[in-house]
Amino acid sequence: MTRVNMGIIGCGNISPAYLTYLGQSDLIKIMAVSDQLPEKARERAKEFGVENVYTVDEMLQAPEIKLILNLTIPSSHGALNIAALEHGKHVYVEKPLSISLEEARKMLDLADAKHLRVGCAPDTILGSGLETSRQVIADGLIGRPLGATAFMMGAGHESWHPNPEFFYAEGGGPMFDMGPYYLTALVHLIGPIARISGSAGIQIHERTVKSGPNAGSFIPVKTPTHYSATLDFTGGAIGTLVTSFDIPGGSTLPRIEIYGTKGTMLVPDPNGFNGDVKIRRSGSEAWEVVPPLFECGPNERGRGIEDMAKAMAEDREHKASGKLAYHVLEAMHAVAQSSREGRHIKLSSADCL
């Protein structure tokens, strides 16, 4: 198939991973990069051999560019995605799809009306770790899923990120930053979520930047930094999800475990593409490593974009889809809503997957 011409908007910390993987792709051709800081875009273009450096407006206007990869900060995702769609371009965006459900719904409706595609990270579900985990369930090796636990426990990104402010603003926090990896993996493995209950709060109200040019400066925390949720899946399984930036001493909890009628599966880190999948069958004392379905590297961000390009050529649904990302976005909002209102929140998007 002919390679799809793509432009990248946003040349921050995550961009090298995409530029590295997609720079070698037979399905995608990176035509241009753009950033609100032109010098950063020029630096990435030189580093990765990209021919053109455009302004955002030039990128949206360029007729040769058919697909926009949106790597801007979360608060910009929705508006930029909509602008790209209005200019007749397909969109793939870093998680989350938007920080606003209303904006995300508008985006998907616009894409449908214009017969355009919307894709969204994480695409780690296309890696060997989660695809092997999914096959374990399909093959019945642990029986019917009954429950799941998922934990993302850390001290926050101010210890390493040079500009961590947006992690503690609206659209940040552990749920919107890391929650998409865990929720997308759980939905990929178990199915849609019917309803959610949860608690969310700010446990540490001020953060200190510990690296980069802003080291020593203080960040006021404006979004919850600890979430605990109960997930009721449409298939009957019950899950527990905890995401936190309030764990300065670290944690030994597993990333994800799935509990079935015939055994338990230990799922590798959903923020990576590979890793060992382990199962322990009922009545056994030993864990077995399941051979991976295929080999892949630990960081292959761009697999979802390639799958979207192939899906367009094959006229099928792509896997890291806007519909899946919307369901995950609704789930993330539901945890905070449940905490505020003290009730279960039903997810309207459960029937759309």
pLDDT of res. 162: 81
pLDDT of res. 170: 87
- On whether the CB atoms of residues 254 and 245 are closer than 8 A, the answer is no
- How remote is the C-alpha of 6 from its chain's centroid? 20
What string of pLDDT tens digits covers the 353 residues of the chain?
Answer: 899 999 999 999 999 999 999 999 999 999 999 999 999 999 999 999 999 999 999 999 999 999 999 999 999 999 999 999 999 999 999 999 999 999 999 999 999 999 999 999 999 999 999 999 999 999 999 999 999 999 999 999 998 888 899 899 988 999 999 999 999 999 999 999 999 999 999 999 999 999 888 889 999 999 999 999 999 999 999 999 999 999 999 999 999 999 999 999 999 999 999 999 999 999 999 999 999 999 999 999 999 999 999 999 999 999 999 999 999 999 999 999 999 999 999 999 999 88
Residue type, 319: K
- Other beta carbons within 10 Å of 213: 8
Residue type, 78: G
Residue 46 three-state SS: helix
> How is residue 281 written in tokens?
């069958």
> Is there a common fold for 4-123+301-319 and 125-295+329-352?
no
- How remote is the C-alpha of 323 from its chain's centroid? 13
pLDDT of res. 211: 85
Burial class of residue 202 (count of CB atoms within 10 Å of its CB; 0-12, 13-18, 19+)? middle
Residue type, 247: I
- Tell me the CATH number for domain 125-295+329-352: 3.30.360.10
- On whether the CB atoms of residues 321 and 307 are closer than 8 A, the answer is no
Beta-bridge mates of residue 322: none
Q: Cα(first)–Cα(last) distance of the chain, in Å?
A: 28
Q: Counting every residue, how long is the chain? A: 353
In whole angstroms, how large is the CA radius of gyration of the chain?
20
- Which ranges in the chain belong to alpha helices (H)? 15-22, 38-48, 56-61, 74-86, 101-113, 128-138, 173-177, 179-190, 303-314, 322-341
pTM value is 0.96
- Tell me the CATH number for domain 4-123+301-319: 3.40.50.720
- How remote is the C-alpha of 102 from its chain's centroid? 19
* Per-domain boundaries in the chain: 4-123+301-319, 125-295+329-352
- On whether the CB atoms of residues 120 and 92 are closer than 8 A, the answer is yes
